[in-house]
Structure 1
Amino acid sequence: MRVIGGILVVIIIAGVIAAFTATFTVSETQQALVLRVGEPIDAVNEPGDPDPGLHFKAPFVDEVVFIEKRNLEFDMAPEEIQAADQERLVVDSFLRYRIVDPLRFFQTVRTEEGARERLRSIMDDSLRGVIASIPSNEVISGRRAELMERVQNAVEAQVANQQLGIEVVDVRILRADLPQQIADRVFERMRSERQQEAARIRAEGEQAAQEIRANADRQATIIRAEARAEAERTRGEGDARRNAIYAEAYGRDTEFFQFYRSMLAYESAVRQGTPIVIPPDSEFFEYFRSERGGN
């Protein structure tokens, strides 16, 4: 009886172990591959075929490899890359990706560490290829969005070509700076170029200002000349009109006109304390030599 009891206990324990090793649980954030003698025979909860929860496998024969289903991030170590103008830049970047084909992923890189090694090579090649076609100042100060888009396109093309079972989600360049040993020299050159540009702009501005002032002076001279001409014309018309009035008045009463002109001459010539030397019989005083005021 004791032997039979012992055998039953062993059978029960073996059954429990077999039952335990025949099941596995896959969470919603994971996908799994069932391997038999090292070869994958089934994929569980892969993208496009969600099936998380409890699953079964052959006990003692099959093993399960769990693969992350969420987005993964891979940081590249800062490295020096030569730009199109032969300047070397220190570039710090990272990549986000997710595993979309666990079977292909296992067959090509097997583990996340293997994927990182492959992605490191792809990222390095893509960064060097893109940055080598762009001047360093554009990498540092502009076109960053276009640069990252070009790098991501290059990475996606290589990942697709190598069929890694990976989808590239995002590629970012955190920093692209000059190495410290040449930064001061490059910045000094850029400062000199900006100063030359500023001097050129100031010279062009001064030339434009001189042209504007010269044009304004020329316009003012023309306006003044036209105003003087108009004034002379108006004055001439006034004098002509005045002379016409005088002539008309002279024609109506010649003696009165002569008398009026003489009075105006006396008013202008005879001032208090002003000596005048004129002969008594001068025509200037003809209106003083007779009672009638004339000849």
Structure 2
Amino acid sequence: MRKLLPALVILVGVFFSTIYVVEEGTRGVVLRFNKIIDLSKPGLNFKIPGLDRVKIIDAKIRTTDSSNKQNSREQKFITREKKDLIVDYFVQWKIVDFNRYYEAIAGGYSVENLLLARLNGRLRAEIGKLDIKDIINDSNDETKSRNSLMLDVKDALNGTNRTDDLKQSDVDSSDHLNSFDESRTSMRAFGVEVIDVRIKQINFPPEVSESIYARMSAEREVVAREQRYQGIREAEETRAKANLHATQIISEAERQSRMIRGEGDANAAKLYADAFNKDKDFFSFIRSLKAYEQSFSGNDVMVISPDSEFFRYMKLSKEK
């Protein structure tokens, strides 16, 4: 039994050295004498001890952000109008050919840096074809928009072209140029497929931003001044209309009051005339009393003869 124990230990060691586990979301590249002989899927796998070794590679979708790279600087892009823009972007990609990918990294390439470099160059070329308004325009336009720009960049990195909707003459005239761009931009040779390219932020350089903000401020000040002047003009017009309307109302009220007053005076005169015709002595007496009331109410001095007709109703009757 003791003689079998070392052999058993060796067998167990050999068994455990022949198995390895590939976790979910990764792949195992099996190397024999530094040559790729197999690609291991997630799960329990076997290898030849001493001859084979396994390199685990992440197979999940990766996101590379232009602003998160070490020693990254602001990248200026020039539009068709010769305007400078600072563009912040990211790219999502995954490995579709692990053999090519491993050969690339084994050869000393940094696939992520290479992807960013080619993406930057292609993005610079596409931005140079558009105006600022086209880049800012986030629409589904197939020719001039930010969406179209990002799709063109993604297809160029994948080595494909969106030529289905183009005229055949345009395709034939640009076949040579497209193939040349593909060879310089495509990441297919490194086993990488680009899932998506997105522009996160577009800014102007500080010196350009200050001039733009100053111009926008001046334009807004002009608009604000025009709005204030328009408000003052409308207020004056409203005030003038209100004054005119008030004057018309007052004039109409004054006219109606005078008509009513005239009608009242006419009715009063008619009543007085009717009363005078019925009893002239009583009417004369009433008028004299009113004259007495108005004459003796103040401190005025009257010089008048006592025998005047004015004092007719103030004299005592001689009849008993």
TM-score band by shorter chain is 0.5 to 0.7
Structure 1 residue 80 corresponds to structure 2 residue 76: yes
Letter paired with 1:118: L
1:168 aligns with 2:158: no
Alpha-carbon distance between aligned partners in 1 of 2:277 and 2:24, rounded to the nearest angstrom: 125
Aligned residue pairs total: 265
Partner residue, 1:3: none
Match of 2:274 in 1: 248
Q: In the alignment, which residue of structure 1 is the partner of 2:23?
A: 27
Q: Tell me the distance in 1 between the aligned counterparts of 2:228 and 2:122.
A: 45
User: Are residue 268 (structure 1) and residue 263 (structure 2) matched?
Assistant: no
Gapped regions of structure 2 (runs ≥ 5):
1-6, 67-71, 139-144, 161-185
Q: Tell me which residue corresponds to 2:214.
A: 188
After superposition, give the CA deviation of every residue in 1:171-211 in whole Å (9 maximum; x if it has no partner): 352x5433334443333323222222221221122112212
Q: Which moved more, 1:148-157 or 1:224-233?
A: 148-157
User: What SS does structure 2 have at the residue aligned with 1:215?
Assistant: helix
How far the C-alpha of 1:94 sits from its partner, in A, is 2.8
Per-residue CA shift, 1:34-71, capped at 9, x if unaligned? 578998775544xxxxxx22223577887755432233
**Match of residue 94, structure 2, among 99, 102, 111:** 99
Shift of 1:80: 0.9
Q: TM-score, normalised by structure 2?
A: 0.62
Q: 1:35–1:63: 8 Å Cα contact kept in structure 2?
A: yes
Which deviations, in whole Å up to 9, do the C-alpha atoms of 1:195-253 show, x marking residues without a partner?
Answer: 22221221122112212212221222122222212222332232233233323333432
- Cα distance 1:118–1:268, how it changes in 2: closer, same or farther (>3 A)? same
The one-letter code sitting in structure 2 at the alignment partner of 1:217 is N
Q: Which residue of 1 aligns with 2:251?
A: 225
Q: Which blocks of at least 5 consecutive residues in structure 1 are unaligned?
A: 1-8, 46-51
Task: Give the match's secondary structure for 2:290.
Answer: helix
Contact 2:36–2:99 under 8 Å retained in 1: no
Call closer, same or farther: CA 1:134–1:291 in 2, change over 3 Å.
farther
Alignment match of 1:114 (pick from 111, 126, 129): 111
**How many Å apart are 1:260 and its aligned residue?**
0.8
Query: Could you give the per-residue CA deviations for residues 85-124 of structure 1, whole angstroms, max 9, x where no partner exists?
Result: 64423333333x2416345974997788335423442355
Cα 1:39–1:106 shift into 2, 3 Å = farther
RMSD of the TM alignment (CA)? 4.4
Q: Identity over the aligned pairs, expressed in percent?
A: 27
Q: Which amino acid aligns with 1:72?
A: R
The answer on whether the counterparts of 1:250 and 1:257 sit within 8 Å (CA) in structure 2 is: yes
**Is the contact made by 1:152 and 1:171 (CA closer than 8 Å) also made in structure 2?**
yes
Distance, in Å, in 2 between the alignment partners of 1:133 and 1:167 is 26
Deviates more, 1:205-214 or 1:59-68: 59-68
Q: 2:256 and 2:125 mapped to 1: Cα distance?
A: 77
Question: Cα deviations across residues 138-186 of structure 1 (Å, max 9, x unaligned)?
Answer: 96xx97xxx876665444444452584535356352x543333444333
CA contact (8 A) 1:19 1:59 kept: no
> Are 1:133 and 2:131 counterparts?
yes
Are positions 1:197 and 2:193 aligned together? no
What is the SS of the residue equivalent to 1:70?
coil
**Inter-CA distance 275–116: structure 2 relative to 1 (3 Å threshold):** same
Contact 1:35 1:64 in 2 (8 A): yes
TM-score, normalised on structure 1? 0.66
**Maintained 8 Å contact 2:89/2:197:** no
Asked if the contact 1:151/1:171 (under 8 Å) is kept, the reply is no
Question: Paired residue for 1:177, among 203, 219, 232?
Answer: 203
